[in-house]
């Protein structure tokens, strides 16, 4: 049992480590060099690498090369093997989130085949005004936000019902949270782990 567990952990770490850095860094959006990650098995029609968008520099950008303008005021991100587990949350969680705010969240885990997200039981997003969306990849388009889920493409959440856990079959995911000017609530927190 112990040998099997060690072999599994060593194999998983080897896969994630092999996927870590690009052999040649092509990540230079807007003249700023960023960390570049090779993708072992990129999703269909996606680049074979991902650039690490930096929260303090790329607060309004996203995408595999950090050159797509996002419709958010703040960007929160996690890139690399250290992100095999982690969490994102709405601003001020578990206290009330601010009005008229939008935030983008991006996570990329080298070598991951799937990512499972689990919501904290304290979940409250104003219905039907405030919106939480989740999808695969490292960029979103607000043109796809219609207040409904399209499983496999985009998931939509609001209200007080705690969402079920969600598994996305990819090495990355994004989240978008937007609020209006009226009622604010506690928001949400999600933890994830890579498979």
Give me the pLDDT at residue 143, please.
84
- Mean pLDDT of the region 18-47: 83
Name the more confident of 89 and 22.
Answer: 89
Percent of the chain predicted with pLDDT > 90: 65
> Which pLDDT value is given to residue 41?
78
Could you tell me the pLDDT band of residue 46, with boundaries at 50, 70 and 90?
confident
Query: What is the pLDDT averaged over residues 6-27?
Result: 55
Walk me through the domains of the chain, giving residue ranges and CATH numbers. 2-194 (2.60.120.290)
pLDDT at 43: 77
* Average pLDDT rounded to a whole number, residues 40-49: 84
pLDDT-derived band of residue 7, with 50, 70 and 90 as boundaries? Answer: very low
Task: Return mean pLDDT, the chain.
Answer: 87
Cβ-contact 179, 158 below 8 angstroms: no
Residue spans of beta strands (DSSP E) within the chain: 36-38, 49-51, 61-62, 68-69, 74-79, 85-89, 102-108, 115-119, 131-136, 155-157, 166-168, 172-178, 189-194
The percent of residues in the chain predicted with pLDDT above 70, rounded, is 90
Task: Provide the token pair at 163.
Answer: 């969402």
Sign of CA dihedral 171, 190, 153, 129: negative
Question: Residue 20: which pLDDT band, with cuts at 50, 70 and 90?
Answer: low
pLDDT tens digit sequence for 123-172: 999 999 999 999 999 999 888 898 899 988 999 999 999 999 999 999 99
pLDDT of residue 29: 87
Identify the three-state secondary structure at position 90.
coil
Indicate the pLDDT class of residue 51, thresholds 50, 70 and 90.
very high
């Amino acid at each position: 049992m112990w040998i099997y567990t060690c072999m599994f952990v060593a194999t998983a770490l080897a896969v994630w480590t092999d996927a870590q850095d690009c052999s040649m860094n092509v990540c230079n959006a807007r003249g700023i060099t960023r960390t570049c990650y090779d993708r072992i098995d990129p999703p269909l029609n996606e680049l074979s690498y991902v650039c690490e968008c930096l929260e303090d520099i790329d607060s309004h950008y996203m995408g595999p090369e950090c050159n797509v303008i996002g419709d958010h005021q703040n960007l929160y991100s996690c890139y690399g093997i250290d992100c095999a587990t982690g969490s994102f949350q709405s601003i001020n969680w578990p206290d009330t989130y601010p009005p008229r705010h939008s935030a983008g969240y991006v996570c990329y885990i080298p070598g991951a085949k799937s990512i499972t997200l689990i919501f904290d039981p304290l979940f409250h997003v104003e219905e039907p005004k405030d919106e939480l969306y989740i999808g695969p990849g490292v960029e979103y388009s607000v043109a796809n936000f219609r207040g409904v889920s399209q499983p496999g493409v985009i998931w939509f959440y609001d209200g007080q019902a705690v969402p079920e856990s969600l598994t996305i079959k990819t090495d990355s995911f994004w989240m978008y949270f937007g609020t209006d000017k009226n009622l604010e609530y506690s928001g949400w927190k999600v933890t994830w782990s890579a498979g």
